[in-house]
Amino acid sequence: MKKRKPTLLNFHNTENLTLFLDRDGVINVRLVDNYVKSPDDFRFTDGFLSGMAKIARLFKQIVVVTNQQGIGKGLMTIEELNNIHGFLMEKVALAGGRIDKIYFCPDLNGSGSLNRKPEVGMAMQARRDFPDINFRKSLMIGDSVTDLEFGRKLKMSTVYIDNGDLASLPDHLADYRFKSFADFSEWVIS
């Protein structure tokens, strides 16, 4: 279910495209009023693994950018988060997809952190690690206003995964809207 077609997916040469993904609500099922604190709590959203396997070859880099204030609240440690992310990356690879790197911000909402979305610190970290990232040839997929604002600040094309949490989303934030990452991946390959 697309809104308007930005130029990103019209490129004939897709080898320099970067995919930025939010985690909770896009990759895994968001836990309402709770945090994923172990691999046992982690449940992939329907169709994510197969969808990622279908489109991974289209992107030069695939990175996750995720706010994880559960660390800042003392509900989990960085080591526990790394275990979750190791589990995530292993399952994605076993399904035939890939994620090149995961960036996270442990800071609390309202902390003023430059790394916490919608601020762009995690994107700058990614570009330091992958110097050929061109934000104008990048796509940000998220399920919140802060995800889309993050993408817009960097002039990325944006995809909103409509999980039903937002009654309304400002039209200027999302270039595309889909019900799930699986729907997005089907549209991309069709």
* Residue 166 pLDDT class (50, 70, 90 cuts): low
Instruction: Return the active site residues.
Output: 22, 24
Asked if residue 7 has pLDDT above 70, the reply is no
The residues pairing with 63 across neighbouring beta strands, listed in sequence order, are 20, 101
The residues pairing with 64 across neighbouring beta strands, listed in sequence order, are 21, 102
CB 160 within 8 A of CB 3: no
The residue-averaged pLDDT of 52-81 equals: 96
CB 140 within 8 A of CB 150: yes
Determine what percent of the chain falls in helix, strand and coil, rounding each to the nearest 5.
35, 15, 45
* CA 140 to each of CA 62, 95, 111, 157: distance values in angstroms, whole numbers, following the listed order: 10, 22, 23, 6
pLDDT for 93-104, tens place per residue?
A: 999 999 999 999
- In terms of Cα–Cα distance, which of 65, 56, 55, 84 is closest to 22? 65
The residue-averaged pLDDT of 154-170 equals: 82
User: For the stretch 69-108, what's the b/e string if a residue is b when 16 or more beta carbons lie within 10 angstroms of its beta carbon?
Assistant: bbbbeeebeeebbebbbeebbebbeebebebbebbbbbbe
Query: Considering the chain, what percentage of its residues have pLDDT values greater than 90?
Result: 83
Asked if residue 13 has pLDDT above 70, the reply is no
Q: Which domains does the chain have, with CATH numbers?
A: 20-189 (3.40.50.1000)
Q: Tokens for 127? A: 């570009």
Asked if residue 11 has pLDDT above 60, the reply is no
Q: Tokens for 84? A: 């979750």
- CA angle (142 as vertex; 141, 144 as ends), nearest 5: 155
Running DSSP on this structure, what letter comes out for residue 3?
S
User: For the stretch 49-61, what's the b/e string if a residue is b when 16 or more beta carbons lie within 10 angstroms of its beta carbon?
Assistant: bbbbbbbbebbbb
Q: Residue 170: what pLDDT?
A: 76
d(CA 35, CA 177): 25
Q: What is the pTM of this model?
A: 0.92
